[in-house]
């Protein structure tokens, strides 16, 4: 069964600290994996996208990694800011089909 699981469900960190969010998937055949950031009351915004052959992708203070063998991805946030408070959603796409599988997200709260 194609599934995407994210952990932790929620996370609270101090401003300036780093954190890592996890995404495990069983989707196959895999095409790409995308991380989205969703601020409260807004639609998701794409942060990074990685295909099978890529194992790391950065976007400013956000760095995503992908291990296609173990079917795991992580999103590392460096020097967190209050504006990083949001839900982070991992999305995996199937090869050859326009099918997307969404994780339920990690709710990150950055406190001063």
Partner 1 sequence: KAGVTQTPRYLIKTRGQQVTLSCSPISGHRSVSWYQQTPGQGLQFLFEYFSETQRNKGNFPGRFSGRQFSNSRSEMNVSTLELGDSALYLCASSLVSGVSTDTQYFGPGTRLTVL
> Does 24 contact partner 1 by CB under 8 A?
no
Q: 92 by DSSP, 3-state: which?
A: strand
Query: For residues 27-66, which are near partner 1 according to CB under 8 A?
Result: 31-32, 41-46, 49, 51
DSSP string of 9-77, one letter each residue: SEEEEETT--EEEEEEE--SSEEEEEEEEE-TTS--EEEEEEETT--EEEETTEEEEEETTTTEEEEEE
- Nearest 10 degrees: Cα torsion 67, 70, 73, 79: -80
Query: Exactly one of 14, 99, 109, 111 binds partner 1 (CB under 8 A); which one?
Result: 99
Query: Exactly one of 11, 13, 68, 100 binds partner 1 (CB under 8 A); which one?
Result: 100
> Does 95 contact partner 1 by CB under 8 A?
yes
Q: Which is nearer to partner 1, 48 or 80 (CB)?
A: 48
Q: Binding residues for partner 1, per CB under 8 A?
A: 31-32, 41-46, 49, 51, 89, 91, 93, 95, 97-100, 102-105
């Amino acid at each position: 069964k194609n599934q995407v699981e994210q952990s932790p469900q929620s996370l609270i960190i101090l401003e300036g600290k780093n954190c890592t969010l996890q995404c495990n998937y069983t989707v196959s055949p895999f095409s790409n994996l995308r991380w989205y950031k969703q601020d409260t009351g807004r639609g998701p915004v794409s942060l990074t996208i990685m295909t099978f052959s890529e194992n790391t992708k950065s976007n400013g203070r956000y760095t995503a990694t992908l291990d296609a063998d173990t079917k795991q991805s992580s999103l590392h946030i460096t020097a967190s800011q209050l504006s990083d408070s949001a839900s982070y959603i991992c999305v995996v796409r199937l090869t050859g089909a326009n099918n997307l599988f969404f994780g339920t997200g990690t709710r990150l709260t950055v406190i001063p």
